[in-house]
């Protein structure tokens, strides 16, 4: 595998006295797209929050780009998140008061990139994702699919080594969801970003090169990429190997 950029070792977590994750090992290499699958309540979002440094594990270790994350202070973890991670959630994580391009610029502005350069990079990423024409609109003026592409642009714009995506197409219809996944996976591969794609849908997981299967807070399996044949073509297209 290529260089590891994010790793969870022996992760455990409990909310109060209720255990939800038990001895979970997971590792992402540069440019790798890994799906975390499992039924609702199996601990997928909890695992993502641990790996993001938003929650501290009750046991185990988290390593981000060679640095142990879970033992850092709250402030340092939040700095690392901003600089080294991008996030895509199901919905509602863009700032409604800002325009599309202002949302996409945020990770750059917050890490000290000057305004003109931030704007240019945000526009370029929106263009890469096919939504540059909506740059100056407010969120209320764009569709769910366009807003989710803007969310993907924001996650990618500072070229972080890792993107964590939690049910990123859960609120979209199938066709729009496929376009958003194609954009996310295609752009992530171009800039060698590792993507953790949390989903309970096989169709979504088929965009990943590998699966990890969670059940009741434990890893119970996974595959090195054996998915429904009908979906393999779309995946190869996203990887630039097929469909000319
Ligand atoms: N903040 C919380 N407080 C208490 N229990 C929680 C909290 N968040 C999630 N849980 C519980 O932890 C388990 C795993 O939840 P979650 O990680 O959200 O699963 P998934 O994302 O796979 O649906 C579920 O039983 C859920 O009810
Ligand atoms: Mg969840």
For residue 84, what are its two tokens? 């080294």
Q: Is pLDDT at 19 greater than 50 in this prediction?
A: yes
Give the C-alpha separation, 83 to 223, whole Å. 31
The predicted pLDDT at position 218 comes to: 95
* Segment 160-206, tens digit of pLDDT: 999 999 999 998 999 989 988 998 999 888 999 999 999 999 999 99
Task: Report yes or no on 101 lying in a domain.
Answer: no
41 lines ligand 1 (CB under 6 A): yes
Q: What's this model's pTM, rounded to 2 decimal places?
A: 0.89
Task: Report yes or no on 55 lying in a domain.
Answer: yes
Q: Is pLDDT at 223 greater than 80 in this prediction?
A: no
- Whole-number Å distance, alpha carbon 117 to ligand 2 midpoint, is 35
DSSP percent split of the chain into helix, strand, coil, nearest 5: 40, 25, 35
45 versus 234: the higher-pLDDT residue is 45
In CATH, what number is assigned to the domain containing residue 66?
3.40.50.300
Measured by CA distance, the residue closest to atom 18 of ligand 1 is 45
Length of the chain: 244
* Number of structural domains found in the chain: 1
Name the band, by pLDDT with cuts 50, 70 and 90, for residue 1: low
* Segment 72-124, tens digit of pLDDT: 999 999 999 999 999 999 877 899 999 999 999 999 999 999 999 999 999 99
Residues 115, 121, 124, CA angle at the centre, nearest 5°? 140
Task: Report yes or no on 130 lying in a domain.
Answer: no
Give the C-alpha separation, 79 to 108, whole Å. 13
The predicted pLDDT at position 226 comes to: 43
Interhelix angle 229-238/174-190, nearest 10 degrees: 50
Which ligand 1 atom is the nearest neighbour of the CA of 198? 21
Domain that holds residue 225: 4-94+163-238
For residue 50, what are its two tokens? 């641990």
Give the C-alpha separation, 201 to 184, whole Å. 17
Instruction: Kindly report the average pLDDT of the chain as a whole number.
Output: 90
Task: Report yes or no on 127 lying in a domain.
Answer: no
Task: Report yes or no on 189 lying in a domain.
Answer: yes
Which ligand 1 atom is the nearest neighbour of the CA of 43? 17
The predicted pLDDT at position 237 comes to: 52
Task: Report yes or no on 83 lying in a domain.
Answer: yes
Share of the chain above pLDDT 70, in %: 90
CA 8 to chain CA mean position, Å: 16
Antiparallel, parallel or unpaired: β 210-215 and 218-221 = antiparallel
For residue 235, what are its two tokens? 């995946």
Q: Is pLDDT at 228 greater than 80 in this prediction?
A: no
Find, among 179, 185, 210, the residue nearest to 28 by Cα: 210
> Which of 24, 36, 41, 205 has most ligand 1 atoms within 8 Å of its beta carbon, as the pocket-test mutant?
41
């Amino acid at each position: 595998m290529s260089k590891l950029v994010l790793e969870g070792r022996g992760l455990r977590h409990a909310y109060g006295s209720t255990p939800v994750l038990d001895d979970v090992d997971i590792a992402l290499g540069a440019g790798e797209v890994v799906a975390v699958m499992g039924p609702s309540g199996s601990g997928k979002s909890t695992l993502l929050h641990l790996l993001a440094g938003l929650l501290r594990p009750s046991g185990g270790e988290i390593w981000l780009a060679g640095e142990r994350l879970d033992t850092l202070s709250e402030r340092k973890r939040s700095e690392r998140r901003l600089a080294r991670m991008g996030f895509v959630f199901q919905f509602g994580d863009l700032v409604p008061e800002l325009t599309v391009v202002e949302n996409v610029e945020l990770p750059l502005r917050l890490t000290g990139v000057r305004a003109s350069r931030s704007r240019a990079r945000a526009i370029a990423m929106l263009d890469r994702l096919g939504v540059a024409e909506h740059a100056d609109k407010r969120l209320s003026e764009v569709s769910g699919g366009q807003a989710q592409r803007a969310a993907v642009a924001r996650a990618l714009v500072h070229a972080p080594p890792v993107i964590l995506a939690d049910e990123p197409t859960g609120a979209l219809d199938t066709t729009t969801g496929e376009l958003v996944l194609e954009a996310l996976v295609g752009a992530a591969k171009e800039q060698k970003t590792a993507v953790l794609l949390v989903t309970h849908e096989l169709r979504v997981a088929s965009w990943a090169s590998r699966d990890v299967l969670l059940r009741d807070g434990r890893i119970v399996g996974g595959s090195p990429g054996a998915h429904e044949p009908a979906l393999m073509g779309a995946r190869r297209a996203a990887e630039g190997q097929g469909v000319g």
